Structure 1
């Protein structure tokens, strides 16, 4: 997912720009499944119809590595990248070994939920309180409620705006012609 979940937003922004350029150039070719050849994207497989599939559901967008990178870049441009960063951190947390859960949970909580969190996500007081209580007995589900709230926020608010963005509309227009 943008190669590394913990990568800086600028890395994903660079990848998003690269993907936009790739989609643009691939849409002008007749082959619909082409491997890109550049130092940065060696072996990257791009299906030019992929952007059309992202409109089917928010889940399809997030399950696509390319779609996720472009969506993340879109959120950076809207100053709300913390939402996808939190969502991805929670996904990563679920697969964390039990011995490493306390440290990772504390890091996620302090970065996204706690008082004075540097990348605070928009959660209601009750959800924050429940998540704080969940920190007392850590398991793979302690962030589930908060993650679900942020997922819904992105799905209902950010995702429709992404689908109306000039970058996405340009890609789908070219894909439909190609």
Structure 2
């Protein structure tokens, strides 16, 4: 399901949202302060900074709050931005995904596996 959703987002040129959300989830699991700092820097450079290669579409307030949170990094440094992106995907992209051919094909294939149907 996740791979299919990512393919859908790629077709809509918005896969950076899911990549950012996953990177933040991984970041929160990090215990080592050194690794946490390295991951925070990479997330910032890849997704937050202006003209980042995979810049996510977050409002100015969220971007500024996230940058301030990076002064003293913690496991919650990206929480606000992650929540905003999650809400964006939930309300916008995921709703379209559920109506897409990709989702219908996934649902059909899972139904057939679950019920042992063979064609």
TM range (shorter): 0.7 to 0.9
Structure ranking higher on relative contact order (CA contacts 8 Å, 6+ apart): 2
Select which of 72, 75, 88 maps to 1:137: 72
Considering fraction of residues, name the structure with more helix.
Answer: 2
CA distance in 2, matches of 1:139, 1:132: 12
Q: TM-score, normalised by structure 2?
A: 0.87
CA distance in 2, matches of 1:171, 1:92: 26
CA distance in 1, matches of 2:67, 2:38: 14
CA distance in 1, matches of 2:39, 2:107: 38
Deviation for aligned residue 1:135: 0.6
Q: List aligned pairs for 1:53-68, cutoff 5 A.
A: 67-68=1-2
Are 1:74 and 2:2 an aligned pair? Answer: no
8 Å contact kept, 2:4–2:106: no
Name segments (4+ residues, structure 1) moved above 6 Å.
none
Cα RMSD of the aligned pairs, angstroms, is 1.5
Alignment-derived partner of residue 107 in structure 2: 172
Give CA-to-partner distance per residue, 1:77-135, whole Å, 9 cap, x none: 11100000000000010111222111110110111011211110010000000000001
CA distance in 1, matches of 2:87, 2:100: 19
Alignment-derived partner of residue 48 in structure 2: 113
Give the secondary structure class of the aligned counterpart of 2:61: helix
Give the secondary structure class of the aligned counterpart of 1:140: coil
Give the secondary structure class of the aligned counterpart of 2:74: coil
CA distance in 1, matches of 2:39, 2:108: 42
Are 1:95 and 2:95 an aligned pair? Answer: no
Alignment-derived partner of residue 84 in structure 1: 18
Unaligned runs of 5+ in 2: none
Select which of 88, 94, 98 maps to 1:163: 98
